[in-house]
Amino acid sequence: MGRWWPWRRTRTACLSLGSNVGDRLATLRVALDDLDRHDDVDVETVSAVYETDPITPQGAEHQPHYLNLVAVVTTTLGPRDLLDLAHRVEAAHGRDRGREERWGPRSLDIDLLLYDHEVIDDPGVTVPHPRLTERAFVLVPLAEVLPAGATLPDGATVASHLARLAPITGVELYVRLTEGPGTTDEPLNRRPPGPPGGPPRLSERHGGPGMPRHRDPGAP
């Protein structure tokens, strides 16, 4: 949870979070809490969670589907420090960027998509994310959290980039997260639910009234 320092400017950034290893939904929920607990970061808005096809090069081994979301944060961190924080959160969830395979499974993947309306091309930090406009699994949740008609730094809207990628495939609405105990969510899941599970930091409901809470198939 962020603190207000009058001499530090607050900026708005968009982060994408994804996981396709273990209990994917629990990982995303806890990662959001990890980010929000930092003194210089507030998680303001979170998109629905989408189940998406992995990016798998031809001939590569099959891997599980991802869960993806986009979060809007306000922060007094600069873009490099915010990205460093994201990488520390990844590491806390078991990711080792130095030893992983390109396009391989990810316990947690956090990308910095946007930082205010800035364009940054520095070693180790590129904003907007260089593949932002090529990925429907990022653009679909991003469209939820940006104001209607908002433009990206290239001057185009998210909707226009999505139209260019149409038809959109491999991006399925999974669940909407709601903060706080005792809250309910819209029954958005299109897949059969499983038995209960996952830490109760954010709540979720799947499949309509009377359906049991979901346990990610990857959970132990």
The strand pair at 171-175 and 125-127 is best described as: unpaired
Judge residue 125's burial from the number of C-beta atoms within 10 Å of its C-beta, 0-12 exposed, 13-18 middle, 19 or more buried: middle
- In terms of DSSP bridges, do strands 120-122 and 171-175 run parallel, antiparallel, or are they unpaired? unpaired
Estimate the share of the chain in helix, then strand, then coil, as percent rounded to the nearest 5.
20, 25, 55
Question: Looking at the annotation, which residues are catalytic?
Answer: 95, 106, 109, 111
Please report the sign of the dihedral spanned by the C-alpha atoms of residue 141, residue 158, residue 86, residue 131.
Answer: positive
Angle of helix 79-92 relative to helix 24-37, nearest 10 degrees, comes to 140
Distance CA(142)–CA(76), nearest Å, equals: 21
